[in-house]
Structure 1
Amino acid sequence: MKKRILVALVSVFLFSGFLTRDNDIYFEINKSIDIFGRVYREVALNYVDDLNPQNFMIAGIEGMLSSLDPYSNFIDVSEQKDIEIITKGKYGGIGATIGVRNSEVTVVDLIEGFSAQRQGMRIGDVITKINEQTISKENYDRLGDFLKGDVGTNLSVTVKRENNSDPIVFNLIREEIEIKNVPFYGFVPENSNNSYLKLSGFSQSAGEEVKKALLNMKAQKEIKSLVIDLRGNPGGLLDAAIDVCEKFLQKGQLIVSVKGRDSVSVKNHYSLEEPILPDAKIVLLIDEGTASAAEIVAGALQDHDRAIVVGTNSFGKGLVQTIIPLPYNNSLKLTTARYYTPSGRSIQKINYSTTGKIFEGSHALIKKEFKTDKQRLVYSAGGIMPDTLVKKVSGSQIVQRLLAEGMFFRFATHFSNQNISLDYSTVSQQKMISEFSAYIQKAGFDFVSKSEKLIDQLKESAKEEKLDTKFVTQLDNMKKEFDASHSSEIQKYKDEIYNLIREELIARSGGKEKRLKEALLFDKQFETSLSIFNNPKAYGSILSNTARQN
């Protein structure tokens, strides 16, 4: 009897402990809401200058959320369409991708078959006005509000174009545009059994698009190997990532584990389908732009030794967000969980819980060893590490600078506007390089290498220390030699420069699909994938080796 009473007392004590803790947090929340509401009311009504109550409220919410992580955001009414685009993969638009180039809002891509492309808009056109709204880089972040809208509605887009003195006005109709998660797939090289699939996002239809692409290629001929290109893929929906994984993993294999704030709240997601390509060799291409849902796919296929990962370290986002509806058609995008790959690792790179005083405990991010199904070593806390490290960055400083300043894009716009009906393949490499060199010189492209910067620093120091003028003259002569060497460096890397120019020009004449196909012809990471496929011994040894290939 005493034993039962003791157990009952212990149970009551433990249970009441939970109640006390819960009551404490709810008391603190209610108290904080009361204080926050009172401060908001006092400031909104009594501040010396008139305030916009709604904007003031949003500023307070955003300030609160900014103390958490970059992915937790308040979504007001005007941004709801962006959420619908992510989830549904559809929107009403004109079929143009817009970016900022050379400080101007510029058309950087066109979707074939939609109003912008049909009516003659070109890549490189600079948008100056939408309806009556003047457009510049200052209001670029609101561009979606001006361009997107209900299907069937009209809008006027004014652009300026090189070699046209007058602005061009396009009267366009918004059409339903479905975002393609798979912009290109096919056999590359065409006469081979190696297939290639570019996966650029994870909206709702991603899994179905991958399935359709694989079945279409299988209908043409046997697929012996597949390159899945996840480079630059920012991620998307968790369910879409799971759906894609199911096309490659064995039925019943673990894809990802999602763990919330409560350690008991763990959801394991397993593959419910049979794979479409059970025997094909697979290589995944990743880079620092591969994030979130794309990392879930990379992690699952790597941990189950289903694919060799080639490229550079991925972004390292191991957090999961949930969209929570709020009153008045607002929403809250809140980080509610972490995900773990099948081996049990979190690939989250940055620990946001150590950045402020609001967190009661820190979730430690420690680089630990984990093992794949075949006992290969993989690591946590730093994104997905490739099995074979292959960098894509050019070895030339001048090429890197030309890319950074958008000179290839700008030259392609200039050249295509001057040669509208020209077949670019008929232009020799020598002539194209010559025209490009003349263009960048006229555009005022100024390249200063690291060595030249050091010379400039030496000159400044020499002048300050009042060294012999002969020494300064020698430095000036060295600088002139560097200036002369720039043109020779362009000649040294002419093949790479010519290929980058061709890629931009083909995008203007053949669209995104042909551009992707052209880029593969001189893609170092893709070439590495093919060499791995062509060497069965190498493919097998990488999947059974515990060491990374460099």
Structure 2
Amino acid sequence: MNKLTIKIKALIAAIVLIITAFAFTSPGERYFEIAKNLDIFATLFKEVNALYVDEVNPNKVIRTGIDAMLSSLDPYTNYIPEDDIEDFRTQSTGQYGGIGALTSKIDGKIKVTMIVEGYSAQKNGLKIGDEVIKIDNIDITKLEREEAADLMKGQANTPVSLTVKRYGKTEPITLNFTREKVKINNVPFMGMVSDNIGYIKLSDFTLDAGKEVKEAVIKLKSQGANKIILDVRGNPGGLLMEAVNITNVFIPKGKEVVSTKGKIEDHNQDYKTLNQPVDTEIPLVVLINSGSASASEIVAGTLQDYDRAVIIGQKSFGKGLVQITRPLTYNAQLKVTTAKYYTPSGRCIQALDYSHRNEDGSVGKVPDSLKSEFRTINNRSVYDGGGIDPDIVVEKSPMSPVAYALYTKGHIFDYATEFYYSNPNIASAKEFSLTDAQYEDYKKWLNGKDYSYTTQVEKNLKKLKEYALEEKYYQDIEHTIQNLEKTLEESKANDLNDFKSQIKTLLEEEITSRYYLERGSIESSFDVDQDISKAIEVLNERSKYDSILAKK
């Protein structure tokens, strides 16, 4: 059977699933509509394939059809072809066959951006900042990052070699590795942020996430923690059952965590905690932001509904939909939305509009008229329709254009690499701070490097100039516009000083990752993290903590 037939069968399977959702008046009418639409599609494709002026790539055309059809439903119903199954499995399980190295394309070069502790990459000398130019003698300099990453992966216990350019070395070096079954931890960091406050960073909801959080809480308590911060900022979610398990660490056995409701009533389900908790009384703060989605929102929303934790940060992403996977022919799969989930108070946090979001992905402001009010155990008001609203909102300063340009063009990353090879040792990640002299060195290092950027004010001024020319007003305001352009240019010249604090933070996080890997990057941000500072403040003022959660 050729690939075209395979693709058509996959599309037909997806079409059947979608069309059967239509509410026709009778089963006979529904099945007629299915047959009619499939026949139209098959004959249409045959005619296009036979008559179109250029050669038609059936794989590309069919895939486009599948993706367009599913995207008309919601962003989370997706077709997963056989070639992408391994990546999907990695997202679901946190496991893959590889060496424990993450890469990214920086300034057109594929560079190692993180090393996973304890695996072959670390044990055999690969370093963050290494530029990978060959994998098993295959030149990868013209490949996309994803293609190179696929070459690095493979069955456990198989060999792979990487040829890399390393800062300070005149010639490339070749390193040999043995692939392993790599498990990415759901909890990349846990530790103390003060004498009695423990901190847990939860980055995923793959297998064993609940177990990892439970072990982290037990360990932190043994180190003297009598208050906990659980950080799910930027966590996109994952396995629903792991959200139940994590919530179970803090609330009693037998409590409802989440319920799912969809079109097929027999599939509706209530999920309750199954185990004895670790601690139902320890003061708890959960940190969220616009990147906290799905399972992260179940944890935050459920703990909020039970008045078990104070939620701090920014409004969460707003994904209240449940997906399951269904096998298709030839090892493909369909990830399909089957239900919405509801927290114990009865609210669904799904954003009312699937498609229109802010640039950062957040759901933005939802009109009060479109929200419904629900009540927590202590009769506090909570709302549906667009993510979890924090109990305490911490306003975030956006990244400045100059900092964004330095970061995206690799000038933060590359400087951190050079700093590492010039400084064999630094203070602990928590204590490390760039001195003013070192920051001045960084500014000198930037001389001659391109980090051009356009501010929003410059964009607006450009539009004003275009409108003025179009409407014949330019001569009247030409002098004013030129003065504004000059003022902006002079102001931008000071941006490295004006946004020093922000740029220094990025540099410190990147530099500490060279010495202490992901743990270092996380820990170095504690002293400038506004959300963590607010969490510590609330946890250290028990009366304030209690008043937030008090019965209304």
1:437-460 Cα deviation digits (max 9, x unpaired): 112333232355555666777788
Distance 2:453 2:540 in 1: 40
Matched, 1:158 2:163: yes
Match in the other structure for 1:385:
389
Selected match of 2:186 from 174, 178, 181? 181
Question: How far 1:212 sits from its partner (Å)?
Answer: 1.7
1:406-447 Cα deviation digits (max 9, x unpaired): 532232123224x15243679860221111111233323235
Matched, 1:543 2:552: no
Distance 2:517 2:410 in 1: 19
Distance 2:532 2:173 in 1: 40
Distance 1:333 1:33 in 2: 21
Judge conservation of contact 1:289–1:314 (CA < 8 Å) in 2: yes
1:258-290 Cα deviation digits (max 9, x unpaired): 111245753111112222111101100111111
Distance 1:218 1:188 in 2: 13
Matched, 1:211 2:214: yes
Match in the other structure for 2:443:
437
Match in the other structure for 1:29:
34
Pick which of 178-187 and 59-68 moved more: 59-68
User: AA paired with 1:534?
Assistant: N
Partner SS, residue 78 of structure 1? helix
Judge conservation of contact 1:92–1:149 (CA < 8 Å) in 2: yes
Decide whether aligned partners of structure 1 residues 148 and 473 sit closer, same or farther in structure 2, where only a CA change above 3 A counts. closer
Judge conservation of contact 1:154–1:173 (CA < 8 Å) in 2: yes
Distance 2:506 2:304 in 1: 31
Distance 2:88 2:386 in 1: 28
Match in the other structure for 2:204:
201
Question: How far 1:345 sits from its partner (Å)?
Answer: 1.3
Selected match of 1:252 from 245, 251, 254? 254
Selected match of 1:512 from 495, 500, 518? 518
Selected match of 2:338 from 336, 339, 342? 336
Judge conservation of contact 1:429–1:498 (CA < 8 Å) in 2: no
Matched, 1:73 2:75: no
Match in the other structure for 1:139:
144
Judge conservation of contact 1:98–1:108 (CA < 8 Å) in 2: yes
Distance 1:458 1:84 in 2: 50
Question: How far 1:21 sits from its partner (Å)?
Answer: 1.9
Q: CA RMSD in A?
A: 3.2
Pick which of 319-328 and 136-145 moved more: 136-145
How is 1:6-405 mapped onto 2 (pairs within 5 angstroms)?
21-44=26-49, 51=56, 53-135=58-140, 139-189=144-194, 192-221=195-224, 223-262=225-264, 265-352=267-354, 366-393=370-397, 398-399=402-403, 401-403=405-407, 405=409
Identity rate, percent: 38
Selected match of 1:486 from 479, 491, 495? 495
Match in the other structure for 2:411:
407
Question: How far 1:531 sits from its partner (Å)?
Answer: 0.4
Decide whether aligned partners of structure 1 residues 428 and 543 sit closer, same or farther in structure 2, where only a CA change above 3 A counts. closer
Distance 1:349 1:436 in 2: 43
Distance 1:58 1:446 in 2: 38
User: Larger Rg: 1 or 2?
Assistant: 1
Give the unaligned 5+ runs of structure 1.
1-17, 355-364
Distance 1:230 1:97 in 2: 21
Distance 1:147 1:420 in 2: 30
Q: Calculate the TM-score normalised by the size of structure 1.
A: 0.84
Distance 2:531 2:122 in 1: 32
Question: How far 1:50 sits from its partner (Å)?
Answer: 5.2
Judge conservation of contact 1:459–1:475 (CA < 8 Å) in 2: no
Question: How far 1:49 sits from its partner (Å)?
Answer: 5.4
Distance 1:353 1:405 in 2: 29
Pick which of 45-54 and 289-298 moved more: 45-54
Decide whether aligned partners of structure 1 residues 318 and 38 sit closer, same or farther in structure 2, where only a CA change above 3 A counts. same
Distance 1:430 1:305 in 2: 45
Pick which of 436-445 and 40-49 moved more: 40-49
Decide whether aligned partners of structure 1 residues 265 and 174 sit closer, same or farther in structure 2, where only a CA change above 3 A counts. closer
Match in the other structure for 1:530:
536
Decide whether aligned partners of structure 1 residues 392 and 205 sit closer, same or farther in structure 2, where only a CA change above 3 A counts. same
Give the number of aligned pairs.
513
